[in-house]
Structure 1
């Protein structure tokens, strides 16, 4: 009888040890979640409408970052998520000062060992511009992902929650490291340099029309098929650490029967650079050429871009850039050419050096 009780006790102790050991092994085998910080800036993803069917005419930037995180409890399964409200604005109000503040905060966070990636919630109207600015000034290989929404948080089939989930998943992914600043919208992964908003309201508004997006997010995993070969983040020569402002660069839009009023007005207002968003391959209207020449003679850098939205702008194609001492925008659209020129002007006033930058970034 005593032998039977002793045996039963030993079996019970052995079973308990097996259970504890198995639990320890299970815990040690569980993957460690990445630490992702969400920096909120406002936009439609934080917007609210008058009813569940309001998808236009809503109010942007009303929902705080903690509410955004709380609305997607599934985030806790893919990362340890924290949030900061950096701004609360509609993205048409994004300024150079906002960019500098945001970029400096991103660099501070990414330098910390307890931050593995960053997600930035943003209004869609200027999301591509903020993304490209960060792509040129962030000094880390850790993932930085911008995300927005085309429908406010109160709408039926709001796209914000799944976009936010995908962006956190992407920022937590080792596969996203070193690929530059990314945009996660509509289950697609886009590069900051090439993506643009191409539709006013549909869910597939963000596209890299000609060069193509980088990959998909499906089944809780990012799938990359290509990456941008242009230099970015840690490979760039731009340092914003001590910058308090950026040089004034303005965009002049080309059209039939164009006149030089806009060029002259921007120069009078102190522009250090002019982006000419010309027709076709960046053609210059005869009426505007004298004002652009005068702008260059006064020291302003003139960059020829195109309003078309796709294709390489040929240097010395529709204008003699060498003779005029102008810069060709390569494949950058006017709004992104403005960003690169502003940063270039913090380094140099040489058109040759600036042209090199346009072919590098």
Structure 2
């Protein structure tokens, strides 16, 4: 029988309601396994209790530790695959970080739940069982880091949480799912894999995201520069446009060799230098801004941080963003 490692990190999937009816961390990795009927007919399981907290606590230093833990587990060539249980709030970020730092053909699947373990219809057990099936499937090899809930399988590059509570919360927009866990077998349709891999750094650079809004000024950029920002990601409007008042701050950051990445508040489509009015994307490109190539704001923060471990040259970083999926 194949061997699968369950790495438990916490999240709603590992929570139960307290006396006040509010969800709190409560279930270990062993408890998660025991909640899934018939799961031991699928594989032999080893459990690693990495953490047990809400995923909003998954800081960059935790991601570094998680990546190193996964790398250590994969040293055992008898492991067929890994299932990582996680909170839905930041699962897309953790999956993306591992996509950029783990290079192994074996399946690694993140899974989670929208309903905690004390709910009679919790989606956790089914998601764990389906993920275990993916982990032992030979067709799941060489597909990068995956996220699977509600029978659907997503690649880490484009998956995002789209609903606060519905069990069908994950989506990849125009990119679609990469597979589906059906009753008789797992169907795979395509791959969403990073073309670039990074070494796991000892420390993660300070990269700050900024949400553009009408009326915003450059004061916020000035604040972050003074507080040690090494990189900035600005979530712009549409094709990558910002209020004109941000131009001064963007230029100030770039002159101090602090890379500035432009993303879009839109879930689908690329930012592109097509508008030349003040604050327009074309002007930002001329200043030396880096365009995200369809990667979300939170993921661009992680990608920029890893890129900064190699260079702070904006042209080289733009090349990294260009090559991430092309």
TM-score (norm. length: structure 1): 0.85
Question: Contact 2:262–2:292 (CA<8 Å) still a contact in 1?
Answer: yes
Cα distance in structure 2, aligned partners of 1:60 and 1:336: 27
Q: Which residue of 2 aligns with 1:360?
A: 323
Alignment of 1:26-175 (within 5 A): 33-50=1-18, 58-175=22-139
* 2:302 equivalent among 327, 339, 361: 339
Give the drift of 1:57.
6.7
CA RMSD of aligned residues (A): 1.6
Give the drift of 1:316.
5.7
Cα distance in structure 2, aligned partners of 1:246 and 1:316: 33
Alignment of 1:12-31 (within 5 A): none
* 2:256 equivalent among 267, 291, 298: 298
Question: Contact 2:143–2:193 (CA<8 Å) still a contact in 1?
Answer: no
Q: Which residue of 2 aligns with 1:195?
A: 159
Q: Which residue of 2 aligns with 1:279?
A: 237
Paired positions, count: 319
Question: Contact 1:189–1:213 (CA<8 Å) still a contact in 2?
Answer: yes
The more displaced of 216-225 and 63-72 is 216-225
1:128–1:179 CA distance, 2 compared to 1 (3 A)? same
1:303–1:316 CA distance, 2 compared to 1 (3 A)? farther
The more displaced of 131-140 and 306-315 is 306-315
- Secondary structure of residue in 2 paired with 1:258: coil
Question: Contact 1:326–1:351 (CA<8 Å) still a contact in 2?
Answer: yes
Cα distance in structure 1, aligned partners of 2:323 and 2:270: 14
Q: Which residue of 2 aligns with 1:183?
A: 147
Cα distance in structure 2, aligned partners of 1:153 and 1:351: 46
Question: Contact 2:240–2:273 (CA<8 Å) still a contact in 1?
Answer: no
Q: Is residue 163 of structure 2 the alignment partner of residue 222 of structure 1? A: no
Give the drift of 1:77.
1.2
Alignment of 1:221-240 (within 5 A): 221-228=185-192, 230-231=194-195, 236-240=196-200
Cα distance in structure 1, aligned partners of 2:53 and 2:177: 28
Cα distance in structure 1, aligned partners of 2:186 and 2:165: 25
Structure 1: runs of 5+ lacking an equivalent: 1-32
Give the drift of 1:259.
2.0
Question: Contact 1:284–1:319 (CA<8 Å) still a contact in 2?
Answer: no
Give the drift of 1:319.
2.8
Runs of 4+ deviating beyond 4 Å: none
- Secondary structure of residue in 2 paired with 1:308: coil
Question: Contact 1:58–1:152 (CA<8 Å) still a contact in 2?
Answer: no
Question: Contact 1:249–1:274 (CA<8 Å) still a contact in 2?
Answer: yes
Question: Contact 1:316–1:322 (CA<8 Å) still a contact in 2?
Answer: no
Question: Contact 1:75–1:81 (CA<8 Å) still a contact in 2?
Answer: no
Say which one has the larger Rg. 1
Give the drift of 1:58.
3.1
Q: Which residue of 1 aligns with 2:278?
A: none
Q: Deviations over 1:27-50 (max 9, x none)?
A: xxxxxx221100000000001125
